[in-house]
Structure 1
Amino acid sequence: MKFGGGGYVTGLIFHPSTENLLYARTDIGGAYRWNPATSSWTPITDGAGFGATESRYHGVESIAVDPNDDRLVYMATGMYTFEGNGRLYISSDRGDHWTHVGLPFPLGGNNGGRAIGERLMVDPNKPSTLFYGSRTAGLWKSTDSGLTWAQVTSLSATKMTQDQANAAGGGMGVGIVVYDTGTQGSGSATQTIYTAISPDYVSVAGLGSSLYKSTDGGASWAPVSVPVSGYHVPHMVRAEDGLFYVVFTKDAGPGAGGPGRLYKFDGSNWTLLKSVDPAGGTNFGLGGVSVHGSGATTRIALGVTNSWGNWSGQQIVQLSDDAGKTWREIEATMPGETASGWVDDVEIDPFDRDHILHVHGGGILETKNASSATPTWKGSIEGIEETATLAIVTPPAGAPYKFINSAGDVGTWVDTDLTKTPTLGPGLGWSNGNSADMAWSDSLYIAATGVINSNGAATGYWSGDGGKSWANFAALPAGAKENTSAEGNIVVTSRSHAVWAPANSVPSYTTNSGASWVATNLPALAVVGQGWNRGYRLAADRQNPNKVYAYDSGGASWSSSPGKIYVSTDGGHTFTLSAGSVSAGMAPDAWWSTSIAVNPNVEGDLWVADGNTVYHSVDSGANWTKLPDFASANGAPGASLIALGKAAPGAAYSAAIYVVGVINGVWGIHRSDDGGATWSRFNDDAHQFGGIGVMAADQNLYGRIYVSGTGRGLLYTD
């Protein structure tokens, strides 16, 4: 489905010698390549190498291109430093296919300071040589096109501990590598190299500066005297005339606070070109910088960070056409869209100085007439889908909408047209939508839950007209205020009647659209440790609204509490433990590895994916049959998601069943049209999306399902 952007693009990488070849990296949603033929972005990290056990490699920390070979591209990935060492992906066809090698240090594509860089650089004169500025382990070098790596101990042999990295938001470390050369393809390694180092690593490694220089290809390094100390260097670029333009800013970002400084550096002398200081409570910083041309007419585009809003006198993107002597604002109050705050990378198209792009928290913004007195800006997000869907539910056949999407950061949306950005939602701004449901006999009635991210306040809301208008719940149930994470959910049994299970809480029910709540008799959930949240998964019987099912998955695979089902026959007010679910031997597992679904066409027809396999009950949970097909393998859960949709024409079973899991060692989405007797794989290796987080099946069209990849928005297939 189309949303458009919806997430943080952390970097833009132009190929310096091939026109219109541009890559975008994101913090959780993989990477994209610009397609000039369609004026859209092509995802290049959906396929092999990004499966169920590889979701963390959708966090892209750095991308590098070979200036001599426009088909060769490198991508360094790893979501968080605490998850372990990252990977380097290598493509010889612009990202259509990848191979990968393990890196000997951790990466943090979604850690703080994730727009700093680029950390990975290819030597333009000897492209088999690469340098990488790591977050926690100093500077690294490869001499075999990235296949093997060695720490550059002549700079520092220090490796930060995880505690030290955590104290610095994941570690900022060595942030930038820049080659001081105007040539390429000479065959001899570039000798003069600069590397910028963040305050955390300067301190831990006992270094003397935030900038170091090598004049012997990286064999030895010497500190460079810098004009300000204790600052981050998010970007440093070299102009055609050999002058460097270097940003210093106090905070790491995203949206780094100031003070901020932009200097011109000739290898010996620093000239201050632009400064922003906290004044009047603004706390502006500086982020991205890009240059075009040389000499006195060098064009500089500079991103001002943490400057939220759009008004006369505001600074978002500053432009200079005289090498930094004078500046003018080219985005605030200009025609079209604006996107302030996280202007952490700015790029001038090397083939078109009037084409300037910058990243932000919701995607990419660009202007194609930067020289105008009033440049026009618009989003460049066609094809980029980076929303993080937390829950999805489809309505009965014939409803006036396709599904309800509960997503991180962008909130709750009722989608009526898959080809257009949705417009129906509660309008809560920067919020998480955690869960939603509708009355099956009255699909215009919707109830949803979430959290307002600006203040962390829990919220619930309902619509009686299919999402056109909304009202907040007047009250919240016990536990909702304190537990706002996504391990909670809500189900609707009929208009005004709902059951809400906040994370780590006893579910409660309402009969008056949230004006008041009453606790159910379900037992409290024991803490499983390691900070993992728990929650009851609820499912409303679509044929009998008096029946509601509650699934306790046990909380973790190592817990002593196996999965079990509770059944209510009074609309979710009171529940009884299903003894049959206990004797079935459902495995204990985490919330995100488990799922429950009801066949909407038959009363009491239940399905559970317990993280390892699938269970089926035809008598409202009294008895369960364990399916023999699914089993965990190679670190992938055997069955983590299940959804039921419109049946195949002439099928013996009344619904098509879709399971995300492993059959015969092969992970994917598997479909059955005969009630689970036989299965066929529904996706392929080219469509893995870093794993599948949520899934729902359409009730109008056989074969249509909706899935979320890791940071890849919602995708659908017929």
Structure 2
Amino acid sequence: MRRRTFAASLGAAAVAAGALPGTAFAKPGRQCPDAYTWNHVRVNCGGFVPGIIFNETEPNLIYARTDVGGAYRWQEETRTWKALTDWAPRAKWGYQYVVSMASDPVETNRVYAAVGAYTISWDGNNGAILYSDDKGDTWGIAELPFKQGGNMPGRGMGERLVVNPADNSELYLGTPSGNGLWRSKDYGRTWGKVEEFPNPGNFVIDPNNEYLSDNVGIPWIDFDQIGGKIYVGVADPADPLYVSEDGGATWQSVPGAAAALGDADGNRTIPKQSAVDNTNGYLYVITSHDPGPYNGGPASGRGGKLMRLSTQTGEWTDVTPPYNPGRPIPGFGGLTIDLQNPGTIMASTCNNWGPDEILFRSKDSGATWSLSWDLVSENERTDRFVMDSTGSPWLSWLGTDNGASYAVKHGWMIEGFAIDPHNSDRIMWGTGATVWGTENLTQWDAQGELIGENEAGERVALPIEQFTVGVRAEGIEMTAVRDLAALGGTLVSAKGDVNGFVHTDLDRAEPMFRKDWSGFSLDYAASDRDIVVATGDVHSETAGHVTFSTDRGQTWQDTTRLEGSPNGSGGVVAITADASAIVWSPNSATITPVYSTDLGKTWNQVQGLPARARVRSDRVDGSVVYAYSGGKFFRSTDAGKTFTDTGATGLPAEDVLDFRVAPGKQGHVWLCGRSSKAEVPKGLFRSTDGGTTWSRVSGVDVAVGVGFGKAASRKGYPAIYATATVAGQDGFFRSIDGGTSWYRINDDAHQWGSAGEVITGDPEIYGRVYLSARGIVYGDIA
């Protein structure tokens, strides 16, 4: 693989600014004359992987689904994942949110994905079933008449979408929101509701919170191939399991299921996942009081069970692992069975926050269990395997081992959890941050017990030969990019959840540059790009500060805390062109913007700006800072101390995602608008006099993000990159003549759904563009 670094500049274009005849707006199907290649800045995942799906017939055919970052197929030869849904257009952005996947065990080229983002008002789009006859290289679309929630609670339950192994033209889909059970009899092309199925579920986490108020519905379907039965799990504590013995024509509640799967302590529990042993005739079901992935079980008392149903006799047996070091089991996340040795089953806890998640393993159908780790004493533990985060150094979260709590953990939110059906030694599991795996799993069984007793009756660790678990996430990229600073030779990113990174080699994953921080905003001094400032949402007693670097992100220092700043007040930060002042607008309705002239040692209140105003600095004049709020544009000529309304009119008062200032062009400001309301102006707006007067850029219908890079010629205008709709065509566009002409630089295979709210060029490499997508995508002229 060729390494992508910043070292080699890609030669300037032969066409100078202004040399194109007339206005050349991009039109549907018209591409930029420069072909682009697309890559990812490497992090290795950085988000939740709720599903790992092994094909039961074809070895090494493995799929992974993510909640917001699309679907992937494993490439055994490189041990990397190939993205399968980068083609999802902006209008169908929810197709990057994968609710469930199913790999056909009969015709293994067939694969299916249930997609859709949210089931509540945040998302006005219905879900769909994607179907492919070539392992996901191309897809057809079957639109559904209801929403699905790839980023909703319960997204690690399931799988909701399954292929009937007895008739692979038939698929079943469990839905949320009371929509019931659905079925296709033509390989996923058309779908209809199974009217005979009586129970759509009723479990709601919190009716007073919109995100938590939707009915979880039907989380999984499974098949007993011995008796030809179809089992369906339902999020209904009083009636949680149904069966059909006649191919789905009629359905009955499974006798004793409510009592067997219920919680003796009175907590509401639901059947979260299942696994079938078609050799010994067992259906295993794990339960939890919460659908996950954030919560496991109640603070006191056991939060979940693992139950075994004999599919032939109907007998229920409680096979819940009896022990969790130091606390009750909070609830289960994942469940898997070794199809090569069906008596071997494994389960994971879900959010066993301290000191780590636990993997349980049984070789005798749940009669006895062993653990992945155990406590020797309160601050000491012994482990069956070593976690190797080589290649993903950020997985330590800049922490260190502290007694029994390790910096690099088994994970959390473990729900995607699967033993390879063709290889008992291979297992993979997804977490809230990565995919872990090993090809030495059966070494677990040779290790014996982890804990013994010495002559004094004290617990001691027994000697074992540990195996290694490593990262198996290469190729999956799904971090939430909130801001980018391209410094030339260095790319700094602010990212939600995983803080942020400083990349000097785009093909190498780096440690985070901040701890306990969810990145939000970045800026740099135009006169000295070594000086960088950043904000993030800090949820601790240290909330309320900006961080800065004077060596291009190699080291960072925190400013003085701004008193009164609440948790999550990252907001937007700007630094003047000459680095003489920092202006910070916290994300707080009660705190107006502040400025500092001593790198944050002291803060002073800005005059003339409302709370939450968005601030940017001029890239030439160190005394000028701009701000925008509610349709009004403000300017400061004293380095951010005071702001005045420029009196500009005609700007959108809402749905403004961003405005940016052109480098090397004093007073040149560009503002994006994309409101869906007809009465609100939208498009790309430009000012060349510091925000006093504005013109709407002709031909740009909607603007989502804008940024700048190296000009095409020595005297040309900085290359402008925009995520926009131009002449009716959605895409990522480039202009090299100050916005007169625009050309689409991406193609239909590279759209990434709701990508590009953050977009910027490189100051030293002409043609290079970085944008927020599933992680950071960057494009180069081929």
Aligned mate of 1:640, from 695, 704, 708: 704
Q: Which residue of 1 aligns with 2:386?
A: 335
Amino acid paired to 2:196:
S
Matched, 1:80 2:134: no
**What's the CA shift for 1:471?**
2.5
Q: Which residue of 1 aligns with 2:667?
A: 604
Q: Which residue of 2 aligns with 1:110?
A: 151
CA–CA distance in structure 2, aligned partners of residues 449 and 97 of structure 1: 40
CA–CA distance in structure 2, aligned partners of residues 253 and 180 of structure 1: 26
Q: Which residue of 1 aligns with 2:193?
A: 151
Aligned mate of 2:430, from 359, 374, 377: 359
Aligned mate of 1:270, from 295, 299, 316: 316
TM-score by length of 2: 0.79
**What's the CA shift for 1:615?**
2.2
Higher relative contact order (CA 8 A, sep 6+): 2
CA–CA distance in structure 1, aligned partners of residues 324 and 359 of structure 2: 17
Amino acid paired to 2:634:
Y
- TM-superposition CA deviations, 1:610-634 (whole Å, max 9, x none): 3322222222223333221111xxx
Amino acid paired to 1:192:
K
Q: Which residue of 2 aligns with 1:187?
A: none
- TM-superposition CA deviations, 1:453-509 (whole Å, max 9, x none): 46794442222333333222212277x4266366x4444444462001123453221
Q: Which residue of 1 aligns with 2:769?
A: 705
List aligned pairs for 1:292-441, cutoff 5 A: 292-293=338-339, 298-308=343-353, 316-330=358-372, 332=383, 334-337=385-388, 338-372=409-443, 373=447, 374-395=466-487, 397=488, 401-423=489-511, 425-426=513-514, 428-429=515-516, 431-441=517-527
Structure 1 residues 420 and 309, CA, compared in 2 at 3 Å: closer, same or farther?
Answer: farther
Structure 1 residues 250 and 484, CA, compared in 2 at 3 Å: closer, same or farther?
Answer: same
Task: Indicate conservation of the 8 Å contact 1:120/1:177, yes or no.
Answer: yes
CA–CA distance in structure 2, aligned partners of residues 269 and 375 of structure 1: 37
Q: Which residue of 1 aligns with 2:613?
A: 536
Structure 1 residues 664 and 499, CA, compared in 2 at 3 Å: closer, same or farther?
Answer: same
Structure 1 residues 308 and 30, CA, compared in 2 at 3 Å: closer, same or farther?
Answer: same
- TM-superposition CA deviations, 1:79-107 (whole Å, max 9, x none): 11103531111112211222212213321
Aligned mate of 1:548, from 625, 631, 640: 625
CA–CA distance in structure 2, aligned partners of residues 389 and 456 of structure 1: 23
CA–CA distance in structure 1, aligned partners of residues 212 and 308 of structure 2: 28
Matched, 1:180 2:268: no
Structure 1 residues 333 and 454, CA, compared in 2 at 3 Å: closer, same or farther?
Answer: farther
CA–CA distance in structure 2, aligned partners of residues 153 and 458 of structure 1: 55
Aligned mate of 2:558, from 458, 468, 472: 472
CA–CA distance in structure 2, aligned partners of residues 390 and 43 of structure 1: 22
CA–CA distance in structure 2, aligned partners of residues 282 and 435 of structure 1: 41
- TM-superposition CA deviations, 1:392-433 (whole Å, max 9, x none): 1222x4xxx52221101111322222111123613x13x311
List aligned pairs for 1:438-453, cutoff 5 A: 438-453=524-539
CA–CA distance in structure 2, aligned partners of residues 477 and 653 of structure 1: 45
Aligned mate of 1:574, from 623, 642, 649: 642
- TM-superposition CA deviations, 1:356-411 (whole Å, max 9, x none): 1111111210011011132310110111111101111222x4xxx52221101111
**What's the CA shift for 1:72?**
1.2
Q: Which residue of 2 aligns with 1:618?
A: 688
CA–CA distance in structure 2, aligned partners of residues 52 and 492 of structure 1: 34
**What's the CA shift for 1:665?**
0.9
List aligned pairs for 1:93-108, cutoff 5 A: 93-108=134-149
Task: Indicate conservation of the 8 Å contact 1:369/1:376, yes or no.
Answer: yes
Structure 1 residues 437 and 315, CA, compared in 2 at 3 Å: closer, same or farther?
Answer: closer
CA–CA distance in structure 2, aligned partners of residues 145 and 411 of structure 1: 42
Task: Indicate conservation of the 8 Å contact 2:331/2:350, yes or no.
Answer: yes
CA–CA distance in structure 1, aligned partners of residues 765 and 89 of structure 2: 27
Deviates most, 622-631 or 490-499? 490-499
CA–CA distance in structure 1, aligned partners of residues 653 and 59 of structure 2: 54
Structure 1 residues 294 and 365, CA, compared in 2 at 3 Å: closer, same or farther?
Answer: closer
Matched, 1:256 2:296: yes
CA–CA distance in structure 2, aligned partners of residues 156 and 167 of structure 1: 26
Aligned CA RMSD, in angstroms, stands at 2.6
TM-score by length of 1: 0.86
**What's the CA shift for 1:108?**
1.3
Deviates most, 456-465 or 214-223? 456-465
Structure 1 residues 97 and 157, CA, compared in 2 at 3 Å: closer, same or farther?
Answer: same
CA–CA distance in structure 1, aligned partners of residues 162 and 542 of structure 2: 39
Amino acid paired to 1:96:
D
Task: Indicate conservation of the 8 Å contact 2:309/2:316, yes or no.
Answer: yes
Please state whether the residue corresponding to 2:145 is helix, strand or coil.
strand
CA–CA distance in structure 1, aligned partners of residues 687 and 340 of structure 2: 72
Amino acid paired to 1:589:
E
Please state whether the residue corresponding to 1:54 is helix, strand or coil.
helix
Structure 1 residues 491 and 439, CA, compared in 2 at 3 Å: closer, same or farther?
Answer: same
Please state whether the residue corresponding to 2:627 is helix, strand or coil.
strand
Aligned mate of 2:583, from 493, 499, 504: 499
Task: Indicate conservation of the 8 Å contact 1:104/1:149, yes or no.
Answer: no
CA–CA distance in structure 2, aligned partners of residues 435 and 490 of structure 1: 9
Please state whether the residue corresponding to 2:50 is helix, strand or coil.
strand
Matched, 1:63 2:104: no
Structure 1 residues 383 and 73, CA, compared in 2 at 3 Å: closer, same or farther?
Answer: same
**What's the CA shift for 1:157?**
6.4
Task: Indicate conservation of the 8 Å contact 1:409/1:432, yes or no.
Answer: yes
CA–CA distance in structure 1, aligned partners of residues 593 and 366 of structure 2: 60
Structure 1 residues without counterparts, runs of 5 or longer = 183-189, 203-207, 526-534, 555-562, 632-637
CA–CA distance in structure 2, aligned partners of residues 407 and 214 of structure 1: 47
Structure 2 residues without counterparts, runs of 5 or longer = 1-40, 263-267, 374-382, 389-408, 448-465, 675-681
Task: Indicate conservation of the 8 Å contact 2:672/2:705, yes or no.
Answer: yes
In the TM superposition, structure 1's runs of 4+ consecutive aligned residues that sit over 6 Å from their partners are 159-163
CA–CA distance in structure 2, aligned partners of residues 197 and 375 of structure 1: 38
Aligned mate of 1:510, from 586, 592, 596: 596
Task: Indicate conservation of the 8 Å contact 1:193/1:213, yes or no.
Answer: yes
Q: Which residue of 2 aligns with 1:528?
A: none
Please state whether the residue corresponding to 2:94 is helix, strand or coil.
helix
CA–CA distance in structure 2, aligned partners of residues 415 and 169 of structure 1: 40
Q: Which residue of 2 aligns with 1:634?
A: none
CA–CA distance in structure 2, aligned partners of residues 294 and 19 of structure 1: 13
The sequence identity of aligned pairs, in percent, is 33
Task: Indicate conservation of the 8 Å contact 2:272/2:287, yes or no.
Answer: yes
CA–CA distance in structure 1, aligned partners of residues 507 and 615 of structure 2: 31
CA–CA distance in structure 2, aligned partners of residues 494 and 326 of structure 1: 68
